Every structure is written in C-alpha cells, then in structure tokens.
Chain A
Amino acid sequence: MSYSKGKTKSRGSFVVLVILAAFWLIPTVGLFITSLRAKGEAQTSGWWDVFLNPFSQDWDLSSYTTVLTENKLGASFISSLAVTIPATVLPLLFAAYAAFGFTFLKFRGREFFFSVIIGLLVVPIQGALVPVLKMFISFTDKTGIEISGQYAAAWFVHSAFAMPLAIYILRNYMMTIPNALIEAARVDGASNFTIFWRLVLPISVPALASFAIFQFLWVWNDYLIAFVFVGNERPVLTYTLLAMLGQYGEGWQAVAAGSFISLSVPLLVFFTLQRYFIRGLTSGAVK
C-alpha cells in the first residue's frame, strides 16, 4: 500500500493548508476584485474594502472595455495569439522527428548530440539574442525581406529554443514504446519514414499535447523575445502591460483589468488541460 492511502485525515494539516492557500490566493483575488471596481474607489481604498463595506461599493466593468480599446489591449491580445499559436505548433513536427531519430535509430554521435541537447535545456536565451537579432537585420539588408519586427522572427526563435525541451519530453515518451512493435513493423518492410508517420507519431500524441501546453504557456507569458523580435509595432500583451505599468495615470483598476485579460488565457488552459500539464511536468520537464 502506498503512502497516500489508508491514512487518517489530519485536522492540523488542513488548517495549515488553509492558511497557506489564503496566502497563495489573495494576490490574484485582489487583482480580480480591483479590476471590477470603479476608478474612484480603486484609487482611494484597497480591494478588501468590498468585504468591509459591501453595500456602498461602485462596481464598474468599464475598465475592461476601456483597456481593450484605448490601451489597444484588444489588438495586443490578437498579437499574443498570432505569436503564440505558430510558435506552439511549428516546433512539434521537427521535435518529433528528432526524438524518433534519437530513440529508434543508431548512428555515430548520437550520445554526443543528445548530451548537447540536454545541456542546451538550461542555456540562457539572453546569450543568443543579440547575434540572432543582427543575423535577421543583415538578412533583411541582403534580401529586402523583413523578419525582425514581424511575428515570424519570434516564431523562429521560440521554435529553436523549444527544441531541447520538446525533444527531451518526446524522447522520454517514445522510449516507453515497446521495441518489439517497431521491429515488427520493420520486418513487415516498413521504412523508418512510414514507421514514424503511421506508428510512432500517433502513439506520441499525449506527449505532444504535454509539450504543446508548456510551449503555449511559455510563449504567451514571454516578454523578452516578444520585446526584442516583435517590438512595439505589434505589441503583445506582456509588452503592453509593462508599458501600462510605467504610466500610473491609467489607474489601478485599468492595469488590473489588463493583467486579468492577459492571465485569463493561461488560467483557462490550466483548468481545462491540468491533467496533461501535470503529466508533462512529472515526466521530467525542466525549463
């Protein structure tokens, strides 16, 4: 019997957890309440005032409509999606191919290349930013094709930096596929190409889903790459939010509404796909 089962419930543990949970919840709840308050109120009293004086409150949803239009948060929302969706989907096939190679094929340098990939799991993005930016700019000078400042620049960089983690998660998963299955397909005359597309890729869908959730959250929440490669012409949510934070004229409730809009998407992803997310985590995801 495992440690988790057959134990009596402990009241003491429950009380401690409630206290800790309050500490973990209060910041986000405060943000949400603030975002729903009228400007005058949010500027003069803390959000907990709604519990102290519940009948004299001015509730106001206009913060949301204001930030979406005036602060162009609506446009930023679209930009964030436009950066995030391709940056989540595009690395999948590349990573799956490589993971297949590392799991089922034997070749010289396999251990070496895989060790490099493990090492790159922790390499800081900052180390590559400036030369990549210069590379994009010189590419534009030579060909006239704009990359930097376009979504595509962020897609490339996010995809490349996603590779180590994606390959790591997918390879860990593919190693659980019985070798006999692959061998049987080989005996039947299937090429590696066919085995990958018809057998391994469909089996690997859960691992692909786990990685996709990670990558989606990572890209959606990223500020640095979006700042450097997409910039202020198509500002993403984190970019706009940081700019709003610098200008206090907006008022507390406006920044709160903006922030809540930004974190509503990750929260939605989290609550609907929690199972895959945690499975991905426990299968050895590090970033």
Chain B
Amino acid sequence: MTVVDTPPPRLPVRQTQTPAEPGVSPAAGPGVSPMLHRLAAERATGVLLREHGTLYLSDGQVTHAESAETPGLDVLLATGGALDAESWREAIARAGARRQVGRFLVDSGRVAEGALELCHVAALFDAAYFVLGPSGAPARFRYGAAHWLGPVRPVPVAALERESLRRRELLHRIWPAPATDTAPLIRADRAAEPPVPSRQEAVLDQVNGVRTAADISLALGRPAFHTLVDLRRLAAAGIVTTAAPQSLRAPQAPGAAGPAAADAAPEPPPPHHDPVSALLTQPSADPDVALLRRLRDALEAL
C-alpha cells in the first residue's frame, strides 16, 4: 500500500523573490494578495492582472472578475435559462460602449435583477477564487480601466479574500488531495459506485479520462469551484480518481533514433505507466484505501 501524505492547502504566497516592477513588493504581508490590499486601501479604480485572471476594481471594491478557468457570466445566465446567447450579444453591442451592459439587460426586461445579481456574484467569487490562488507570476495593475458590464453589485476586497480562503479550506476538509482539481479524470470502479445526488451525477457523466474539472465546468455551465467541490466529494467516496499520467511524447521505435540520438540531451527515460497498473497503484482508485485514508484523517482530527 502506498503511504500518502495529506499536505495542507498551499499557502497563497508568491514564489518569486524579485519584485517584477517598481512599487510591487512580493508577499509583503498576510492575506491573499498584498497588492490587492494596497489597491483597496487607496480606493483604486482599474484592473488587476494576475496569472490566473483579472479583477476589476472601482473605488477599491471588486466589481468584476474573470478567469480562463471559470465559465463567464453569460454562460451562467444561459445555464439557468435566464438569457440566451443572442440577447447577450445584442446587449453588448448596444450598451457595451457605454459600459452599461448589466443595467441595459435589466432595464430592457431581458433579465430579472435578482437573477443577474445572483449569477454575477456567483461568477465573480468563482473567478476570484482562481485569480487569488497561488501564483508564480507578478501581478500588474492598470489604473482607470473599467469593465463593459458596468456595476452590478461591488464586493469589498476583504469579503472576497475571506471567502476565497474559506473555499480553500472547504476543499481541503472534503478531501485533502488536490489532484482532481486540475488533472484529467476517470471513474474508479463503476460496479461499486454508490448512488450519488443528481448534481454530482451530472459531473460524473462528464468524466471520461480526458476532461479536467475546468472542462466539466464549461460543459455543464456551472461555476468551476462547484465542480471542484463535487469532484473532491466523488474522490473522497472513491468514485472518481485522476487518470494515469501519460508520457508527453510517443515512444520512439527502437533503431529509428540513429545519429540524431547523439544530439539529444541526455535525460532519464520517462516513467512508463501502462494504464492498468497505474490505476492499481493509484491510492484513491481502491475504495478500501480511500476509506482507510478518511478514517485516518478523521482520527487525526480528533
């Protein structure tokens, strides 16, 4: 049996030690982003660009967040049936230049104010979780920039940080291994699956050995963090696990390398996994091992 460490959530500190631009001090204080703290304190307006996405600030409050890893507001609105893609495009065309798209959607009766606000705040916190996640690249801030959506319901920076940290802890509490957040996923053992709630069932149906959590979120039109939660629960139940790591290059035929092999930098051969043995050695592939790990975690938590 493989002994598996259960690392605590990674701390949200930037890895780099060199300030990338004047005035930016890396990891100067506690919290998720010292730069964001400073911008909130000076009631800045503009856009904060980080490795995993952007935060729009107005008067020191967060008005909008975007990340490539999360579905946008238009997707969430479409999923709920509140707005179709055509109306969304029309609203951007008519009100985008004025930066009043949100206002226009409500005033023209296309979206109920409550539905817009709920989807907007869901998209904002969802994207911000990834934007404020650990980052290896320096952040930049462009003063004055505003998002074309216009204000919907601004969120204080402190509330956003608190929620992002709470979400990180929630994931860790459900299942402390973060592998399902990013890796391609497979179903562990269909025969032994217990029944799962319908929202998790929808996630499970998307698991095909190729898709990652982000792919599944986009396919279902759900907030990405919600998919992470569902996947960690499925992992904790031993139903979902990460797909076997695949070597990035196809193996070369023996003898085909020829003289070119001499030019290639010497490197250790990539570890070869055939899918079956890799599956068997994956710790969470075995429901009994998953159960034992949960027992151990529970006992340690006493």
A, B from the same assembly: no
Show the binding face of A for B, using Cβ within 8 Å.
Answer: none
Show the binding face of B for A, using Cβ within 8 Å.
Answer: none
